[in-house]
């Protein structure tokens, strides 16, 4: 894609992979609208190509306001990166309704709301790229992460269906499945269920085995700039794979998931995580 006056919208852009992508693409001549709840986190940014914009992906009204603003100014959105997301850590037994709905409201319905608002612009312009940030946990289950996993499985399903739906309008739809990445995810955006983390919980052994290990692996994970580079590659290469894995853990587990039976794969994961 020729990147003169190309417009990108990224959700959840104030930290991690969203932030790295916003900065990287704006340095590569894209005009980037960084959708965020925290525009103040961009106070130190001086480049005119990186434009923080307040967006609440729970609200169609908030989303439409952003989209209308961009459309009025540029008549186009070339690339949408659906990146915003967080992780709920809870057993299914302990889930409360609000936690459960909130996880899907952000990771799944938020992505759908933003896509729904952007698609008519791309369709009219007969061109566009939608990149959904999923997870390697969109193909692999792990205990305590059932809601997060299922939200990312949903993102995979949405991506696969949308590809057919939008093909005739020259809109590409991709998903990226990151392994563990060193972002604000474990520090700020893992929400823990109090009952699950109670020392007297019947799941306490599982929690104490798995949770610190996952947090450590995230905090020592790959660097978010790798995702930014992949996103630029996807934009520039119209033959880029529909689904791409990135990061050490994704590269380890996704091929294994394809090769092994469900039972053998589960055995390997149990051994690896001591669960
Ligand atoms: N880090 C990992 O190991 C990993 C692995 C696989 C997939 N992912 C996925 O990668 C994407 C980016 O995450 P990241 O690793 O870069 O983590 P991050 O630094 O925590 O960034 C996540 C962004 O999502 C937005 N967000 C978080 N909670 C939200 C909420 N309740 N409502 C609305 N927006 C919310 C925030 O945007 P604002 O504050 O700017 O609004 C935040 O900047 C997520 O979809 C995540 O699921 C991460």
Q: DSSP character for 184?
A: S
CB 25 less than 6 A from any atom of ligand 1: no
Q: Domain segments of the chain: what residues? A: 7-273
CB 140 less than 6 A from any atom of ligand 1: no
Task: Tell me, yes or no, if 152 is annotated catalytic.
Answer: yes
pTM for the whole structure: 0.97
CB 218 less than 6 A from any atom of ligand 1: yes
Q: Which atom in ligand 1 lies closest to the alpha carbon of residue 189?
A: 20
Contact 190, 89 (CB under 8 A): yes
Q: Which residues contact 21 (CB under 8 A, 6 or more apart)?
A: 10, 13, 81, 83, 224, 227, 228, 231
Phi and psi angles of residue 103, each rounded to the nearest 5 degrees, phi first: -60, -45
Average pLDDT, the chain: 97
CA of residue 78 to ligand 1 center, whole Å: 22
| pLDDT, tens digit, 9 for 90 and up, residues 211-249 | 999 999 999 999 999 999 999 999 999 999 999 999 999
> Which is catalytic among the residues 6, 139, 152, 249?
152
Q: What's the fold here for domain 7-273?
A: Rossmann fold (3.40.50)
Task: Tell me, yes or no, if 203 is annotated catalytic.
Answer: no
Q: What average pLDDT does this structure show over 86-98?
A: 97
| pLDDT, tens digit, 9 for 90 and up, residues 246-255 | 999 999 999 9
């Amino acid at each position: 894609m020729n990147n003169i006056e190309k417009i990108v919208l990224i959700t959840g852009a104030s930290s991690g992979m969203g932030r790295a992508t916003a900065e990287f693409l704006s340095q590569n001549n894209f005009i980037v609208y960084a959708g965020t709840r925290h525009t103040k986190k961009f106070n130190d940014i001086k480049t005119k190509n990186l434009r923080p914009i307040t967006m609440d992906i729970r609200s169609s009204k908030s989303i439409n306001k952003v989209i209308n603003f961009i459309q009025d100014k540029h008549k186009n959105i070339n690339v949408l990166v659906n990146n915003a997301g967080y992780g709920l850590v809870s057993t299914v037994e302990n889930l409360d309704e609000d936690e459960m709905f909130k996880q899907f409201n952000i990771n799944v319905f938020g992505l759908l709301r933003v896509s729904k608002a952007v698609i008519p612009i791309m369709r009219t312009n007969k061109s566009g790229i939608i990149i959904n940030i999923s997870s390697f946990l969109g193909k692999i289950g792990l205990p305590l992460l059932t809601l997060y996993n299922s939200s990312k499985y949903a993102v995979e399903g949405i991506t696969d269906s949308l590809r057919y739906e939008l093909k005739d309008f020259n809109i590409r739809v991709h998903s990226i499945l990151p392994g563990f990445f060193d972002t604000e995810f474990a520090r700020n955006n893992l929400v823990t269920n109090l009952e699950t983390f109670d020392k007297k919980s019947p799941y306490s052994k599982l929690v104490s085995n798995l949770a610190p290990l996952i947090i450590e692996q995230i905090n020592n994970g790959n660097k978010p700039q790798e995702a930014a580079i992949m996103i630029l590659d996807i934009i520039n290469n119209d033959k880029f794979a529909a689904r791409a894995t990135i990061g050490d853990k994704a590269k380890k587990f996704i091929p294994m998931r394809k090769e092994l039976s469900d039972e053998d794969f589960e055995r390997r994961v149990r051994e690896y995580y001591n669960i």
